[in-house]
Structure 1
Amino acid sequence: MTELPGIRPLAGLRVVEVSSFVAAPLCGLTLSQLGAEVIRIDPVGGAGDKNRWPVTDAGESIYWAGLNRGKRSVTCDLRSPDGREIVQRLVTAPGDGGGILVTNAGGRDWLGHNALRELRDDVITLRITGKRDGGAAVDYTVNAATGFPLITGSPEHGGPANHVLPAWDVACGLYAALAIAAAVRHRESTGQGTAIDLPLEDVALAISGHLGYLTEVQINGVEREATGNAVYGTYGKDFRTSDGARFMVVALTPRHMRDLVRITGRTEVVSALESTLGVDFSTDADRYRHRALLDAVFATWFAEHTAAEVDAALSDSSVLFDRYRGFAELVGSGELEANPLFAALDQPRIGTYLAAGLPAAFDGRHLSTGPAPALGADGADVMRDLLGAQQHEIDNLIERGYLGEAQR
């Protein structure tokens, strides 16, 4: 990995993360990239995401390593009073930047805000739940209940179509990082801690409301239709070229539309359609309502040209476009090497690869972290650093099974 940038906005903070899967680990990763010390705590032997796919040929989880870079790893017996006490003491250890917990481990009163506040009155806790009542839910079930699968995919599909990106988990993790930063600012101003509850269900509902999906039903009394690869409310469509490539083309503005019409040589046809239908394709509404006609008009031009010809023509215009490609093609394109967001990371047990830093650049620099630790690798050091434990105490905890050791 290249040398880490000097600017670390959250340097001095210490966050204990008792988590698994996507949202909470992504929160911790984001805080770590911003400079916080993040200590991930797992049960001895690892949590449910320890071996989550994708994995290497040797069975090492590429997924786990990606979300836990730059953290310290401690494993404890979370079912025993002694193991739970270790976690509580780590969360509430003294220090101006400590006393912060991020968790998605529900149903654990000993890890709740009230229990921890008895040990440190300015503690900050953030609890991610599935549903607002504390019930279990994951991205894929929340998505099903929110409505998006019913308008995703082709209108001819006739059923729900799930997306493969866990969008609600991602949004939840980033909301969580923002909430922690806000609570820290509040504590610095007032000296008071905060109990934060963040249901995954409410993240999905809030964003659905912000983007108008829920408001549209309440105000207009209509539900959004499935539109396939079309862009709702304006003009956007995927087209196939003569050599089998596919392009996504979007005309968001009158200028985009004029350029698309000009490049495809369809000026007369489009003008005739406007005159016949009494519409104006410089408006979003008319482009969207009559998108099927426009699709047919433009599709023949794309079908008559190669991908290289289409790319060259559209590149010389304002039209928004890009060619569909797979992950392998993206990785093989050389774009990662050319993007300062990525830097080489030597990840033990995984290998060397280009890893992304924080997408936001601070003074032109992308903040990043080192590799992910081995599961449980930092238990002894964390006990010494935070709790002042002596080696014989650490050995005793390990021998009795309350504190785990590094798994290789």
Structure 2
Amino acid sequence: MYDLLKGLRVVEGSAFVAGPTCGLYLAQLGAEVIRFDNIGGGPDFGRWPLTPGGDSLYWEGLNKSKKSVALDLGRPEGRELAARLAAAPGEEGGIFVTNFPVEGFLSYEKLSALRPDLICARVMGWADGGPAVDYTVNSAIGVPMMNGHPDDPRPVNNVVPTWDLLTGAYAAFALVSALHARSRDGKGREIRIPLSDIAGSTMANLGYLAESLAGPDRPRMGNDLYGAFGRDFTLKGGQQIMLVAITPRQWKGLLAVLEIEAPVAALEAELGLSFASDEGLRFDHRGRLFPIFEAAFARKTLDELKPSFEATGVCWGPYQPMSQAAEDPRLIKGNPVFSDVAHPSGRTYPAAGFAGTIPQDVRAPARAASKLGQHTDEVLAQVLGLSSGEIARLHDAGVVAGPEGR
């Protein structure tokens, strides 16, 4: 947690991954992020993974450091409150993150009528307004057709919702950019960010699109690193690692550690080329290289290789389950990005703060998600200026709720 965005007020009306991720990143940089949900929770309030008691670890992970307001969005008065929150006055307010439809009670046309300089980042599925989620966009862009092993024709989806996460980060970047522009020209803006455009743009930026247009489409190749030398290997004792050698230094260091300079040199002489000078050649001839490496790894344990790997700059990583990764000091345990936090579910476990590090600033610990509706009264009073009597009337009418639906 850092304070780069301290004083900024962001209102979030969204569900699932992309919109909440945008709000999370802004909150981790010090913005006051106010999330509104339906009383009882929105469509992502009970998403898996769950605790044994039924609380969503997913929801409390994506909504750390945010304030929570519970409204009855099925009623006109509740919808009006949501719109007023999004467009509430204040020099550092008027910033809204949502994945509600383009048309409707949270359309930019209606919100900008309340506040002309409103900045809105609207996460969408397809650019034409059609419904989509990460997994359906991913299937359409072709990535699952490249995943998997050559001898298995089934498409393999990503476990991690890549396009959602990229969209959330892109939305945060776009909001801050629009805020910077507003400070110059005073104008509000709606920024529509479809998952489909993020996926298509990413494939184009990486050269995948141009490659496919030249044909043929990239085939499945298991864990082989496309265009360079890399693959999973099994060591003596059964430990599996992912190994990559892209730079000449990585390649030469790897050959020395495995003591296979001679057989690789013999192969180079046979083929009339130098693997050290061109990573693409290592990929083209990986069918000849892999058996040499497989035999070398089968002779050595990880304990034998690790010191030499570190000394020579070999690039590798172990295959390990998430439970083991949690104990890895390079990843989670002891990492200052993480703080042990008591969460609304009642469980205490490591929570991630801002993933970047600013050496010049003091990092504050991560903060837990709020209970649903925990800040309803506070936000209605401080942001909308409602009196205690007005707030009590809204509670009595069932338009708003506090923690536990009260």
In the alignment, the residues of structure 2 paired with residue 172 and residue 349 of structure 1 have an alpha-carbon distance, to the nearest angstrom, of 28
Residue 235 of structure 1 aligns with an amino acid whose one-letter code is: F
Select which of 346, 352, 358 maps to 1:356. Answer: 352
Q: Specify the alignment match of 1:139 in structure 2.
A: 134
Q: Does 1:281 align with 2:275?
A: yes
Q: Name which of structure 1's ranges 375-384 and 258-267 shifts more when overlaid on structure 2.
A: 258-267
In the alignment, the residues of structure 2 paired with residue 259 and residue 174 of structure 1 have an alpha-carbon distance, to the nearest angstrom, of 36
| TM-score, with length taken from structure 2 | 0.95
Question: For residues 2-401 of structure 1, what are the structure 2 equivalents within 5 Å?
Answer: 7-106=2-101, 108-218=103-213, 220-282=214-276, 283-335=278-330, 336-362=332-358, 363=360, 365-366=362-363, 369-401=366-398
- Post-superposition offset of 1:369: 4.2
**For residues 370 and 251 of structure 1, do their structure 2 counterparts lie closer, same or farther at Cα, with a shift above 3 Å needed?**
same
After superposing on structure 2, the runs of 4+ consecutive aligned residues of structure 1 that deviate more than 6 Å are: none
| TM-score, with length taken from structure 1 | 0.95
SS in 1 for 2:68: strand
1:221-248 superposed Cα distances (whole Å, 9 cap, x missing partner): 3322222111111101111011111111
In the alignment, the residues of structure 2 paired with residue 373 and residue 186 of structure 1 have an alpha-carbon distance, to the nearest angstrom, of 32
CA contact (8 A) 1:60 1:349 kept: yes
In the alignment, the residues of structure 1 paired with residue 8 and residue 365 of structure 2 have an alpha-carbon distance, to the nearest angstrom, of 16
SS in 2 for 1:39: strand
CA contact (8 A) 1:359 1:366 kept: no
1:253-279 superposed Cα distances (whole Å, 9 cap, x missing partner): 122111212221212211111111222
Q: Specify the alignment match of 2:401 in structure 1.
A: 404
CA contact (8 A) 2:125 2:195 kept: yes
CA contact (8 A) 2:69 2:375 kept: yes
- Post-superposition offset of 1:344: 2.0
Q: CA RMSD in A?
A: 1.5
Gaps spanning 5+ residues in structure 1: where? none
SS in 2 for 1:175: helix
CA contact (8 A) 1:360 1:366 kept: no
- Post-superposition offset of 1:190: 0.9
- Post-superposition offset of 1:387: 1.4
SS in 2 for 1:45: coil
SS in 2 for 1:231: coil
SS in 2 for 1:338: coil
- Post-superposition offset of 1:92: 1.4
In the alignment, the residues of structure 2 paired with residue 231 and residue 38 of structure 1 have an alpha-carbon distance, to the nearest angstrom, of 40
1:177-222 superposed Cα distances (whole Å, 9 cap, x missing partner): 001100110111111111110001100111111011102123x333
